[in-house]
Structure 1
Amino acid sequence: MDITELSRGLDTIWVVLTAAMILLMEGGFALLEAGFVRQKNAVSIIMKVFVDIAFGALVFYLVGFGIMYGKDIGGLFGTSGFLMKGDLSHIVLNISNETYWLFQCAFVIAVISIVSGAVAERIHFRAYILFTIAMTGLIYPLAGHWVWSGSGWLGKLGMIDFAGSAVIHGLGGFAALAAAIFIGPRIGKFMPDGKVNIVPPSNLPLASVGAFILWFGWFGFNAGSTLSATHSGIGHIAITTMLSAASGGATCILFTMLRYKKADPPMVINGSLAGLVGITAGCAFVSDSVAILIGAVCGIAMVLATEMLERKKIDDPVGAFAVHGISGSIGTLAVGLFAVPELTANVGQGYYGLFYGGGWSLLGVQALGLATVAVWGFAITWLFLWLIRKIMPVRVSKDEELIGLDVGIHGVPAYSDNSDFIDLDRVKNGN
């Protein structure tokens, strides 16, 4: 075996393993969201995660990958590579196109899972399937093409988003915001007199385990984006990822102790995730100390954004927008401020942060890219949900919401002591 073949084999193993780590994050999403919602809706969370994986993978294989990485037209979208066929010769990597597809498939599944949490406990299952097809087949692939395809217009301008603070988390976060506003709050969340009712999580230990699984998978998310087992930056990427997540969690512990007189567990969980989201764009391009700063800023911003949504009477049960939309935005802009020259040497001449002598160029490109992805994610999500509502209900009925989606939609509770019977005929008839 020559050195070239050995290198290709190592890179293939690395990418497949990190893709598997990212796919394991779906278990994290499932546990996190199931722990944050009420017991009567835990099964609905699990079913949506299965939709994310099953429909997401198939649709991305059929059309999404081609739109994202196919032969380019005007820097806007790809036109080849559907069903992994046609001309993909422009993709020049040390791994096969099939291996690359698997890694990117794990990413697209993560995007739709972000939206899932924002509409938990009230979206109709059939409508969610249709939106998943739209997100994985068109919405995300187009945004990904603009930044990551090598020929997209934002990538050509010089936008840096190493593992997806904007393309994945910013897009998913702003799509989640649009979906939460469109579908409306849960029954009883906001009272006519302005009172906000707290909906207590059903199982915080379960949510915590979900967060730990996501934290673990993030090392595959970020370090795996090198697409090479011998990349010299893997260690640096791993440590910036760890430090930002730890900083987000630690900052939320201290900030909520000051603000609420006690450390708030859901905020601390989301604080660590906010740090992970924030470092995703610049994990390969910022210093260790800046990673700590990014995590801290994201943690505080997440808390304030969560409060802001409640003041605006926007119901986001798991904090999807505060974690992904806000932190993704901060992380994307942070690259324009803090990217280190020696770490961005392979990106392009002059593309480093404002505070390192790079001027306003990169920051301007990052801001343009972020605004484009955010507006695209919000507007197109609203449009697709509006179109879906023309053909079927987007929100479950009042009775289904009150009884819980587990029994009301799926016909089975998440937890049972086997002391009760379910009238199967009534469930099938929608009663």
Structure 2
Amino acid sequence: MNDLSAVVEEHVAWLSGIGADPTGGTTRLLYDENWQIAQNGLKAKFEAIGLTTSFDAVGNLFGRIEGSHYPMETIMTGSHVDTVVNGGALDGQFGILASYLAVKYLTEKYGQPLRSMEVISMAEEEGSRFPYAFWGSKNIWGIADKADVLEAADAAGIKFVDAMRDAGFDFKDENEGLRKDIKAFVEIHIEQGSVLEKTGKQVGVVNSIVGQKRYNITLEGESNHAGTTPMGYRKDTVYAMSKMINEAIDKAHHHGDPLVLTFGHVEVQPNTVNVVPGHTVFTMDCRHTDATELAAFTKEIEADMKATANKMGIKIEIDNWMNEAPTPMSQEIVNVLETACTEAGLNFQVMHSGAGHDSQIFAVNVPTAMLFVPSIGGISHNPAEATKTEDLVEGLKALIASIHKLAYED
């Protein structure tokens, strides 16, 4: 392959520039002006290399080339076009650009594929503008419930429905059937972690996406004077929370990888220097690749928290508001990606994903797998998000080799 560095850098700079934030980073949210410019710009690029383009009802963009022998067997690749607020230059969009460049390379070098190839730029994954994530992929697979967004609004008070219709889109016809032609979906993405960087690998072949359980935990004690309330008489919810978190994190360390546990948000009332805090709400996020392990660990932690609260005379309410099961990738497609990387002489390893991706929605419906490239310092959702150009190129080479096997080989 000729040097792909310049073309990768050029395309990343172009797309991340649409929605460039004056303070650094990129902000391109579902249905906003920059989102529309990006989708239409990608549409023009797809058409310029001979792809037939179309938007679905909600704004997912497709670029397609028909297969010569098996036109109704489609190999799909791509990712999401939206960003978080003030996000980085790679999350989501690198997957679209790499897919476009892979298909461009393959058609120029090998001509028409045996199976149809399709690049997708999905409308939304992040949930950054409206309180709903995976709008693009969930609509493809008929699991998006419009009731969940009918009353949704963004921070400026703009209704989801109004933003969608102003951008020229609308709800999907509920009677529209699901696609039966997609034989494989491959998504390439930055890792958003530091595993590849620490192991010195340039490509990851992802064999599973972790399950996630998220909680809001509310503690009710008693607010009282910080000077006149003896220590033995207090019902201090911050103290109770600290004991719960300490015990839980110690157990997470003991349990070991791949389980991870995070307490990321705390709200304290009255939140003042001279009052014993009588009301605290905090979050818990627990992830694991094994559903049984995830359920058993979180059940134990819930029981520990209740026991601590009972011992301290504090009321506790545990709200498990997210319960996403782990998603295994297709072993068949994982094997194809491994073989492609091995034959191409790439520096890779098999790994799991600790973050959620559109692939977890696809994987329930069609054979799916992912490729990762390293993230410098493991940083993502941040203007400092970056990957070495040579690693982006290695990821592109992995995708080219993988799509070639899936679309061009009998």
- TM-score under structure 2 length normalisation: 0.25
Q: Which structure's residues are more often helix, by fraction? A: 1
Higher strand share: 2
Greater radius of gyration (CA): 2
TM-score normalised per structure 1: 0.24
